[in-house]
Amino acid sequence: MAKEISQRELRNNSGQIMRSLDRGESFVVTRNGIPVGELHPVRQRRWVDVDRVMAAFHGAPPIDPEPFRADLDRWVDQGFAVRG
Protein backbone atom coordinates (compact mmCIF):
# COMPACT_ATOMS: atom_id res chain seq x y z
CA MET A 1 0.00 0.00 0.00
CA ALA A 2 1.44 3.37 -1.02
CA LYS A 3 1.92 5.98 1.68
CA GLU A 4 0.33 9.36 0.98
CA ILE A 5 2.66 12.35 1.21
CA SER A 6 2.10 16.01 0.44
CA GLN A 7 4.03 18.05 -2.10
CA ARG A 8 5.64 19.87 0.83
CA GLU A 9 6.75 16.59 2.47
CA LEU A 10 8.29 15.51 -0.84
CA ARG A 11 10.22 18.77 -1.10
CA ASN A 12 11.33 18.89 2.54
CA ASN A 13 12.10 15.19 3.04
CA SER A 14 13.33 14.14 -0.40
CA GLY A 15 16.41 12.35 0.95
CA GLN A 16 14.38 10.25 3.38
CA ILE A 17 11.81 9.50 0.68
CA MET A 18 14.55 8.39 -1.74
CA ARG A 19 15.93 6.00 0.90
CA SER A 20 12.41 4.63 1.40
CA LEU A 21 12.12 4.07 -2.35
CA ASP A 22 15.42 2.16 -2.18
CA ARG A 23 13.77 -0.09 0.43
CA GLY A 24 10.82 -0.76 -1.89
CA GLU A 25 8.24 1.65 -0.49
CA SER A 26 5.79 3.53 -2.74
CA PHE A 27 4.16 6.94 -2.34
CA VAL A 28 1.16 8.89 -3.60
CA VAL A 29 1.98 12.60 -3.80
CA THR A 30 -0.86 15.04 -3.06
CA ARG A 31 -1.36 18.74 -3.65
CA ASN A 32 -4.01 20.35 -1.45
CA GLY A 33 -5.14 16.85 -0.48
CA ILE A 34 -5.68 15.74 -4.09
CA PRO A 35 -3.52 12.91 -5.49
CA VAL A 36 -1.37 14.16 -8.39
CA GLY A 37 1.30 11.50 -8.82
CA GLU A 38 2.85 8.26 -7.67
CA LEU A 39 6.42 7.35 -6.78
CA HIS A 40 7.44 3.70 -7.10
CA PRO A 41 10.80 1.97 -7.00
CA VAL A 42 12.11 1.21 -10.48
CA ARG A 43 11.84 -2.47 -11.29
CA GLN A 44 15.00 -4.22 -12.32
CA ARG A 45 14.88 -5.06 -16.01
CA ARG A 46 15.13 -8.69 -16.89
CA TRP A 47 16.87 -9.39 -20.17
CA VAL A 48 16.01 -12.47 -22.16
CA ASP A 49 18.32 -13.42 -24.97
CA VAL A 50 16.92 -13.41 -28.50
CA ASP A 51 17.31 -17.18 -28.99
CA ARG A 52 15.06 -17.85 -26.02
CA VAL A 53 12.41 -15.43 -27.30
CA MET A 54 12.53 -16.93 -30.79
CA ALA A 55 12.16 -20.44 -29.32
CA ALA A 56 9.12 -19.32 -27.28
CA PHE A 57 7.36 -18.10 -30.42
CA HIS A 58 8.50 -20.95 -32.68
CA GLY A 59 5.46 -22.46 -34.37
CA ALA A 60 3.17 -19.53 -33.54
CA PRO A 61 0.88 -18.51 -36.38
CA PRO A 62 1.87 -15.43 -38.38
CA ILE A 63 0.15 -12.16 -37.49
CA ASP A 64 -1.59 -10.20 -40.22
CA PRO A 65 -0.69 -6.59 -39.31
CA GLU A 66 -3.84 -4.90 -40.66
CA PRO A 67 -6.42 -6.81 -38.56
CA PHE A 68 -4.03 -6.73 -35.61
CA ARG A 69 -3.83 -2.92 -35.79
CA ALA A 70 -7.61 -2.67 -36.20
CA ASP A 71 -8.08 -4.78 -33.04
CA LEU A 72 -5.64 -2.58 -31.13
CA ASP A 73 -7.38 0.61 -32.27
CA ARG A 74 -10.78 -0.83 -31.30
CA TRP A 75 -9.78 -2.02 -27.80
CA VAL A 76 -6.91 0.18 -26.63
CA ASP A 77 -7.47 3.84 -25.79
CA GLN A 78 -4.30 5.59 -26.93
CA GLY A 79 -5.60 9.10 -26.31
CA PHE A 80 -4.44 11.36 -23.54
CA ALA A 81 -5.83 14.23 -21.53
CA VAL A 82 -3.88 17.29 -20.48
CA ARG A 83 -4.25 18.13 -16.80
CA GLY A 84 -4.65 21.80 -16.04
In order along the chain (84 residues), what is the average pLDDT of each group of 10 residues? 94 96 95 95 87 93 93 84 74
Q: How is residue 49 annotated by DSSP? A: -
pTM of the model: 0.53
- The pLDDT, as a whole number, for residue 84 is 66
Calculate the alpha carbon distances from 17 to 24, 41, 70, 72 in Å: 11, 11, 43, 38
Report the length, in residues, of the chain.
Answer: 84
The predicted structure's pLDDT at residue 78: 73
Where are the chain's structural domains? Answer: 1-42
CB 29 within 8 A of CB 10: yes
Q: Which amino acid, 66? A: E
Rg (CA), the chain: 21
- Could you tell me the CA-to-CA distances from 27 to 42, 50, 78 in Å, in that order? 13, 36, 26
Residue range 1-42, CATH number: 3.40.1620
